[in-house]
Structure 1
């Protein structure tokens, strides 16, 4: 394959998934420049994560449990969460629960996209292998982003439970990402029998969270009131 073909195949899944979740915002789509800003932050995040993971692995060893839940998912999801929280959580554009999903997914898919590009060029990837990565690690990062953003939205718009939902917004992505990695590390020959049910479950839960977050939008109530007045 040509360089352009490989690059396109590596980038396309992340962009397509981001467009999908962006367009699922029913009431007030987010400023595209902010979404792309978060996506770019996710891309740039790959470099410090690579350095930190190398250092953590050197200090903590290669135990699958430690690698999966601390070195891989713990570090990656915490840094993604930190970017979303610092950059966008208090921003005026974050004005409905679903917005948390859009921005967290943007960071997650920025990260996954550059990872995919590195994989494509370092492993002489084929279209088939890139397609399998679109269905697994790239969409996996999107699912973890949905979880993170869903609970960030709930924390912002449920003040009396802010701390609880903030904790959920980081703990759930770390757990599910860690479980995903642990399956791949410990079931090398028959991982597909564990991974397919996991991904089906994560997609089903993510779609439910998307619909749930949209249903809680204050803009939905405002639009309904405007229709009644008309």
Structure 2
């Protein structure tokens, strides 16, 4: 039991710490980061209920399951928590703050999901789970947070554009990830490896860009 819990939470805590400490100066209120992480944990339960209901009530193709039942539902709920719970309760000082809070909610979700998976399928799956679903959730969160940060500091006419990016780019990438898993057979790993490498490159590129945009508080304006 202890082994499963530790194996399940370690990747999420490690990745959250990595992205949190990437911020060069003030890292933001740690208690708020923890709260957002816990909101991500709580999102797992309504998400599971909604996904189960939709799968039972609809006959869906693999693409529909990948992009709508999994990707759109999960990423929208994370985005909703950020937009209506996290951001209204903090004053963002830099664009990188969007990455911190978005990664927190994504990794909260991934951590409980990971724990449940390891409970049913065994701790021997921990490494693969850390490399694929937990890491991918973190990177979807990074990308979502990057564009939310851009929206928070953008001129009013540009806010809507960046907010749409913050929702639909993670949905698109998450949908591709899920579809590669659905394909199954022996070829999925050969497709997943280049996808994950590209996702890491794209996510870390957004981290570098956001980390260099410091002290933009003079242009900050909430939605």
- For the superposition of Structure 1 and Structure 2, which TM-score range results when normalised by the shorter chain? over 0.9
Residue 132 (structure 2) aligns with: 136
Residue 36 (structure 1) aligns with: 34
Corresponding residue SS for 2:88: coil
Deviations 1:109-159 (A, max 9, x none): 000000010001111231xx2011100000000010001000000011012
Gapped regions of structure 1 (runs ≥ 5): 222-230
Aligned pairs, number:
217
Largest Rg, 1 or 2? 1
Deviations 1:45-83 (A, max 9, x none): 000000000111122324111100000000000000000
CA distance in 2 between partners of 1:168 and 1:220 (Å): 22
Does 1:22 pair with 2:23? no
Deviation at 1:219, TM superposition (A): 5.6
Residue 142 (structure 2) aligns with: 146
Corresponding residue SS for 1:89: helix
Does 1:155 pair with 2:151? yes
CA distance in 2 between partners of 1:141 and 1:80 (Å): 11
Deviations 1:172-227 (A, max 9, x none): 00000000000110143211111111111111111110110111222699xxxxxx
CA distance in 2 between partners of 1:195 and 1:220 (Å): 39
Rate the CA distance shift 1:59–1:10 in 2: closer, same or farther, 3 A.
same
Corresponding residue SS for 2:194: helix
CA distance in 1 between partners of 2:177 and 2:111 (Å): 18
Residue 204 (structure 1) aligns with: 201
TM-score where L is the length of structure 1: 0.91
Corresponding residue SS for 2:122: coil
Gapped regions of structure 2 (runs ≥ 5): 219-223
Deviation at 1:5, TM superposition (A): 1.1
CA contact (8 A) 2:7 2:123 kept: no
Q: CA RMSD in A?
A: 1.5
Residue 227 (structure 1) aligns with: none
